[in-house]
Structure 1
Amino acid sequence: MQRVVSLYLPTWSTDRYRRTLGKQAPPVDRPVVMIGRQGNRRVVLAQDVAAAAAGLRLGMPVSKAQAILPGLIVEELPVADDAKALRDIAFWFLKIYAPIVAPDAPDGLVLDTTGADHLHGNEQLMLTGMINRLHALGFTARAAIADSWGAAHALARFGTDAATIVPQGGSPGVLAPLPLAALRLESRIVADLKVLGFRRIGELAATARAPVTLRFGPEVGRRLDQAHGLLSEPIEPIRVPELVETFRFFAEPISAAETIARYTAKLVNQLCLLLEKRGLGARRVDLVLHRVDSGLQAIRAGTSKPVRDAKQLTRLLTDRIDTINPGFGIEKMILTATHAEALVVGQARSTLLDDAKADIGETVDVIINRGHKVYRYAAVASDVPERSVKQVPAQSVEDHLGWPDHWPRPVRLLSLPEPIQTIALMPDHPPKNFVWRGVRRIVKRADGPERVFGEWWKRDRELTAVRDYFMVEDESGERFWIYRSGDGEHANTGSQDWFMHGIFG
């Protein structure tokens, strides 16, 4: 079933104004409005949160707004610049989240994320990530995901939460209490419906359709059906000239999986030739299929490094053809490299002269495109053990930073040190025995201490922090990595409690 995300930027124009000014931008508590003409009047067309809190409203004459707030900042609404910036944001989201993304003018985006949420964890993480990315750029954002564009659009703008997830098939019940304006009807129609006593979508949906259509035309019924997912509403993906893409029209619609796979391979070959001419390799490719009923189906495949290997790209795309619902047939296929990078092909090495290094890139890409995470651990320049490693992409460039070799490190490092009870002489002696997870262990051998100091440049509380690590072996031959928080003498260096931090093989 289709899943659509609507992103709403309620203060898009004023946020963009502040972002453009940078350090010279007015404080957030200083009201800002953007104005324009409606007929012969100059009215407020956009405002920030501070202006709305002060009682200003969209459509209010500028003279009245300035009378209410004498220190009001008034700027002309840059309609063309706002539209261009919205397209830039849409293209950015196209490269990150889904193959079908479009501006939802004047202050939002719409994304068809069907089958794409697993690449970002789940729908909740995906929505939160979208909102956080926009917040990092200085834009206030709200988001909703539902089975239709109309439902997601309504909930993003009139819902109670900043991020709303509607379960599949749950749109009618969630939309029922929302106001009629959420249906994207003309203000004139909304006002006339209110005169007749309608206030909520649920009230309108429960009314006989014929009298409403007779009086207001088909628009009301069409918007209701779109919101409830009964009528498709195609999203035309954004496209920019720099994208490398190829397409295929069909005189007769196709629907068989084998046929779709065959033409996918042909499109991939054409795309690889175009990429080769530009000296590029694809990092992400999107296959968008246009159905005869105006619906869209899409497959996204990503790679861990730039490639233009037709066989590899074809496999990644055809591996997910079973997720395509061709409906009554596919009439057009478009293959786009939505993310491409420079690719220089080196001279092939002879396996007779050199030991060829195994290339696991294709296997990694297959696993990632099936929704799994593949990574490896890399060293970080830090003496604190839990900070000395990080997860990096499996195919990332090898670094030459290693772990300390003057003291052995355990094979398994606990994600969080666990407290243990010990009996030990202070300050430099290892424990005689300790209790960990309810089991008492007698220490037969020990080596240490290895003193690790806190990273004072990160936190003030680590200015005097100390850990003394010991490698201990119990009577059964198991070896553990334990430490005392503190130097065993001064209270300001730590709690003097003991902790289990690792297990040796």
Structure 2
Amino acid sequence: MRRVVSLYLPTWPTDRIRRRLGAPLLDEPLVTVITEGSRRLIGAADHAAHTLGLRAGQTIAHAQAMVPNLHIVDAVLAEDEASLTELARWCIGYSPIVAPNPPDGIWIDIAGSSHLFGGEEKLIAHLARRLTGQGITAVACVADAPGAAWAMARYGDQSIIPPRCTVDAIASLPIAALRLPHQTLDGMHRLGIERIGQLAAMPRAPMVRRFGKDVALRLDQAFGHAFEPLDPLLPKETPLQRVSFAEPVGRLEDLAAIVQRLAQLLCGDLVRASLGVRRLDLIFERVDRQNIALRVGTAKATRDAKHLAKLFDERLQTVDPGFGIEAAILIASKVEPLSDKQIEAASLRGDGASDVDLSRLVDRLGARLGAKHVYRIAPVESRVPERSTQRIPALAPLTGLTWPEGLPRPARLLDPPEPVTATALLPDHPPAFFIWRRVRHRVTKADGPERITGEWWLSEKERASLRDYYRVENEEGARFWLFRDAPADEGGRWWLHGLFA
């Protein structure tokens, strides 16, 4: 299913000027000026200017009378649009299908890439956070259709319209959200039509006769009843291969063969450029102009065509060819230098000097489970058990740290530790029994205590932290890692922190 982000940049012209000049400050009002005949009008106003009552279309003389300390810069519409296109190219990091929507927006089709960021909500939050960090005001909305996402981003309050809920979600929005000309909007207002739902409730034939076919088209595009194509940008100077077909194709076997052919051609280009792939985008162009994008990543740079093609095997089964696919593009959207490597001699030595290459396994698992779910555990210098490990990329280089020998630790840590009810026969002794998750365990063997104090250099609270850990075994041979968070005479509580294999 198609899922499109509409990225709305309400103050893009002034944001661009601030990023280029480094001034004025955010709390100082800034506007751009355009010339219409002999009149000088506000072209765009930043948030501070809006707060003071300035709007696009006002004369500069009126604006300066309202705000004497107003910063004024000549508008350069061509530079605004060119910079917007460059920002759209930057957004290709989120999806291969990105199209600028001048003068203040960008469209991003994330149907094939949202899973790489943990879902749609996390993707748009990550996008908005990065843009805000660069001084760019941005609002994003995800919907099934570009028109619905555009409308909600500018006139609504939802960041995500659930699939197949577009009609109900935008029915209450004003008719200005349909991207109609001002003359048409004025005519609707005179008839009392203020909301999209009111327009949609009108009989179709009278509506078309009164307002024209464009109104019906915009309404259908907003509801997702009419397909609205996006013209995607391609990254500059990026290795890619494109193939067109005399007749549309759609069988899964044909798609797999196409990917293999494109991968071989692309890897040939990468060999000549001494580059390796880290991220690969596959775009299928359907005959109805609806593009389908798939994205995969690799754990390290590679140009093995067979391996790269296999990464798309499972994802190809989700492709809906519609009435047929007429072209396919394979893009190496992220590359790294990769020089040739001699491997035969190392394998013939027989001394075990060559390392096992796990990158292909990591790539296949990442394509199936998601890159964030493939990792390894590395040690961290910390006394507190739950802080002594961290997740790192599966093929990250060794840190040189190791866990201390002679300190047995459970194979599974509970984070956070779970409270248990325990009874010890003597103070500072291991418990005779404990109850965890409503199950009573009688302790037959125990070892401890191992006292672990808090990391006092981090905070004052850590100075008072103290834990006495015990390794215990129940009647059935199951082993547990328990601790008491204070001495018995101070009323310490018992906790279960880990399970031994």
Instruction: Verify same fold: TM over 0.5.
Output: yes
Match of residue 38, structure 2, among 37, 40, 43:
40
TM-aligned CA distance change 1:263 to 1:442, over 3 Å: closer
**Alignment partners' CA distance in 2, 1:81 and 1:379:** 50
Q: Is the 8 A contact 1:5 1:145 kept in 2?
A: yes
Shift of 1:203: 1.8
Deviates more, 1:410-419 or 1:353-362: 353-362
Q: Is the 8 A contact 2:235 2:333 kept in 1?
A: no
**Aligned residues: CA RMSD:** 2.9
**Alignment partners' CA distance in 1, 2:89 and 2:128:** 16
TM-aligned CA distance change 1:270 to 1:474, over 3 Å: closer
Count matched residues.
494
Establish whether residue 103 from structure 1 lines up as the match of residue 100 from structure 2.
yes
Partner of 1:154: 151
Establish whether residue 456 from structure 1 lines up as the match of residue 494 from structure 2.
no
- One-letter amino acid of the counterpart of residue 66, structure 2: I
Shift of 1:109: 1.7
Per-residue deviation, residues 146-197 of structure 1 (Å, max 9, x unmatched): 2211111111111123x122322x2222222111111111223222322233
TM-aligned CA distance change 1:71 to 1:158, over 3 Å: same
Partner of 2:500: 504
Unaligned segments of structure 1, at least 5 residues: none
Partner of 2:388: 388
Deviates more, 1:387-396 or 1:302-311: 387-396
Deviates more, 1:423-432 or 1:400-409: 423-432
Establish whether residue 121 from structure 1 lines up as the match of residue 118 from structure 2.
yes
TM-aligned CA distance change 1:434 to 1:210, over 3 Å: closer
Q: Is the 8 A contact 2:472 2:481 kept in 1?
A: no
- One-letter amino acid of the counterpart of residue 268, structure 1: A
Q: Is the 8 A contact 1:180 1:200 kept in 2?
A: yes
Establish whether residue 191 from structure 1 lines up as the match of residue 192 from structure 2.
no
Shift of 1:71: 3.2
Shift of 1:416: 0.3
Secondary structure (helix, strand or coil) at the match of 2:317 reads: helix
Establish whether residue 471 from structure 1 lines up as the match of residue 485 from structure 2.
no
Secondary structure (helix, strand or coil) at the match of 1:350 reads: helix
Shift of 1:94: 1.4
**Alignment partners' CA distance in 2, 1:273 and 1:310:** 9
Q: Is the 8 A contact 1:279 1:343 kept in 2?
A: yes
Partner of 1:410: 410
Partner of 2:282: 287
**Alignment partners' CA distance in 2, 1:485 and 1:255:** 63
Unaligned segments of structure 2, at least 5 residues: none
Q: Is the 8 A contact 2:24 2:30 kept in 1?
A: no
Shift of 1:500: 2.4
Establish whether residue 374 from structure 1 lines up as the match of residue 374 from structure 2.
yes
**Alignment partners' CA distance in 2, 1:260 and 1:410:** 48
Establish whether residue 54 from structure 1 lines up as the match of residue 55 from structure 2.
no
Q: Is the 8 A contact 1:466 1:487 kept in 2?
A: no
Q: Is the 8 A contact 1:119 1:371 kept in 2?
A: no
Partner of 1:69: 67
Shift of 1:420: 3.5
Establish whether residue 142 from structure 1 lines up as the match of residue 139 from structure 2.
yes
**Alignment partners' CA distance in 2, 1:195 and 1:201:** 15
Q: Is the 8 A contact 1:449 1:470 kept in 2?
A: yes
Partner of 1:2: 2
Q: Is the 8 A contact 1:118 1:371 kept in 2?
A: no
Query: TM (normalized to structure 2)?
Result: 0.89
**Alignment partners' CA distance in 1, 2:305 and 2:96:** 20
Per-residue deviation, residues 326-376 of structure 1 (Å, max 9, x unmatched): 223222221111111111232103156144544332232223223442222
TM-aligned CA distance change 1:73 to 1:483, over 3 Å: farther
TM-aligned CA distance change 1:388 to 1:402, over 3 Å: same
Percent of residue pairs bearing the same amino acid type: 42
TM-aligned CA distance change 1:217 to 1:66, over 3 Å: same
Q: Is the 8 A contact 1:465 1:486 kept in 2?
A: no
Q: Is the 8 A contact 2:12 2:104 kept in 1?
A: yes
Shift of 1:272: 0.4
Listed as ranges, the matches of 1:248-259 within 5 Å are 248-259=243-254
Q: Is the 8 A contact 1:123 1:165 kept in 2?
A: no
